[in-house]
């Protein structure tokens, strides 16, 4: 828990009073109204800790966590910026990440029957690919070498990572995620072992998901031709590539928005919770029509 002795002086930093909306976006990836929304959303899960410790308010906890997610720097640096000690930042990131991760099923959901038609229209406008309701791929979140089963987390590039499966729509909203597998596990296996695979094998959706050649061709999963031998196959591959680029863009947007996902100095379970937290925050931000552009790299964190 967060001890009141862990605080230096939170009154030194009041971001919601100190910064403009643009400055809040750069530093926390959310504006004032959206931060207040997050405070109200997470208050039931975080306020009891504040009452016990007489320490950080829910608002302070969320701002500290958002600062860490946005810049991905050391806890000490975040603590110096926010006016708290390193151990408090560590506790806050853990608690806020667990709270956000617990909401993943509320904010990440596969298109329902009444949403499928719109999903198809959006993908068709994106790449002239008909009957498409999603795009799938995996992305690696690099982590420090774990203390246990270290070899399982070494990916094909020789780095330690969590291999994260994501499915998104044409608007870059994440509609399914699997965040638990070590970096050595192949993309196809992650899909095969997932609840999504079982659900779609049993109840075939009214549409298809687009995947790259790492995935198997299935009735509901379309992959490109390895060799386009005819003009029709070439046109298919072009349309497939244009529509599937949504998932490539998502991976880029997610890691630019939350720079911590480029490298986490954390054990696997904590890294998974942080990743899930960023996924939930990404969907909240996207659904609230926040700017998805890359923050100005010349501005200091």
- Tens digit of each residue's pLDDT (9 = 90 or more) over 12-46: 478 998 899 999 999 999 999 999 999 999 999 99
70 and 259 Cβ atoms separated by less than 8 Å: yes
The overall average pLDDT reported for the chain is 91
Residue 185 pLDDT exceeds 70 = yes
pLDDT digits (tens, 9 = 90+) for 240-265: 999 999 999 999 999 999 999 999 99
261 and 29 Cβ atoms separated by less than 8 Å: no
- For 21, 65, 70, 113, the CA distances from 103, given in Å and listed in that order, are 26, 16, 20, 22
Tell me what pLDDT residue 4 has: 46
Give percent above pLDDT 90 in the chain.
85
CA distance 179 to 272: 6
Q: Where are the domains of the chain?
A: 4-102, 107-267
CA distance 230 to 132: 22
pLDDT digits (tens, 9 = 90+) for 206-234: 999 999 999 999 999 999 999 999 999 99
Tell me what pLDDT residue 11 has: 45
pLDDT band at residue 50, thresholds of 50, 70 and 90? low
Q: Please, is 217 exposed, middle or buried when counting C-beta atoms within 10 Å of its C-beta (0-12, 13-18, 19+)? A: exposed
78 and 10 Cβ atoms separated by less than 8 Å: no
Indicate the pairing of strand 161-168 with strand 174-182. antiparallel
* Cα four-point dihedral sign 301, 56, 16, 254: positive
CA distance 88 to 10: 11
CA distance 175 to 139: 15
Nearest alpha-carbon partner for 120 in 166, 172, 177, 170: 170
* Residue 30: φ, ψ to 5°: -140, 150
Tell me what pLDDT residue 53 has: 46
pTM of the predicted model as reported, rounded to 2 decimal places: 0.91
pLDDT band at residue 78, thresholds of 50, 70 and 90? very high
Tell me what pLDDT residue 47 has: 86
Give percent above pLDDT 70 in the chain.
89
* Cα four-point dihedral sign 133, 136, 271, 11: negative
pLDDT digits (tens, 9 = 90+) for 64-74: 999 999 999 99
Residue 6 pLDDT exceeds 50 = no
Task: Compute the C-alpha angle 71/75/81, nearest 5°.
Answer: 70
CA distance 290 to 34: 9
pLDDT (mean) for 147-165: 98
- For 5, 25, 84, 143, the CA distances from 11, given in Å and listed in that order, are 15, 21, 10, 33
Task: Compute the C-alpha angle 195/108/115, nearest 5°.
Answer: 95
DSSP-derived letter for residue 156 is T
The sheet with strand 174-182 has its strands ordered as 174-182, 161-168, 132-142, 208-210, 221-222
pLDDT band at residue 291, thresholds of 50, 70 and 90? very low
């Amino acid at each position: 828990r967060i001890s009141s002795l862990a605080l230096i002086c939170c009154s030194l930093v009041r971001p919601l009073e100190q910064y403009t909306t643009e400055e809040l976006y750069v530093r926390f990836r959310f504006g004032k109204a959206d931060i207040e929304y997050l405070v109200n959303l997470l208050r039931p899960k975080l306020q009891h800790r504040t009452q016990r410790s007489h320490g950080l308010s829910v608002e302070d906890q969320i701002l500290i966590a958002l600062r860490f997610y946005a810049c991905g720097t050391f806890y000490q640096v975040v603590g110096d910026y926010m006016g708290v000690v390193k151990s408090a930042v560590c506790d806050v990131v853990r608690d806020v990440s667990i709270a956000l991760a617990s909401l993943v099923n509320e904010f990440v959901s596969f298109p329902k029957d009444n949403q499928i038609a719109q999903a198809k229209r959006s993908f068709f406008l994106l790449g002239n690919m008909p009957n498409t309701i999603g795009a799938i791929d995996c992305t690696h979140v690099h982590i420090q070498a774990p203390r246990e089963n270290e070899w399982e987390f070494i990916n094909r590039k020789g780095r330690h990572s969590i291999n994260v499966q994501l499915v998104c729509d044409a608007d870059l909203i994440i509609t399914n995620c699997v965040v638990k597998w070590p970096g050595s596990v192949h993309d196809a296996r992650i899909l095969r072992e997932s609840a999504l695979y079982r659900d779609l094998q049993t109840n075939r959706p009214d549409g298809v998901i687009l995947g790259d050649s790492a995935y198997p061709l299935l009735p509901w999963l379309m992959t490109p031709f390895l060799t386009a031998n005819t003009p029709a196959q070439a046109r298919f591959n072009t349309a497939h590539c244009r529509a599937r680029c949504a998932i490539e863009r998502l991976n880029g947007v997610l890691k630019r928005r939350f720079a911590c996902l480029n490298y986490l100095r954390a054990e696997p379970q904590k890294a998974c919770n942080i990743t899930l937290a960023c996924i939930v925050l990404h969907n909240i931000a996207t659904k609230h029509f926040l700017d998805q552009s890359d923050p100005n790299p010349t501005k200091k964190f």
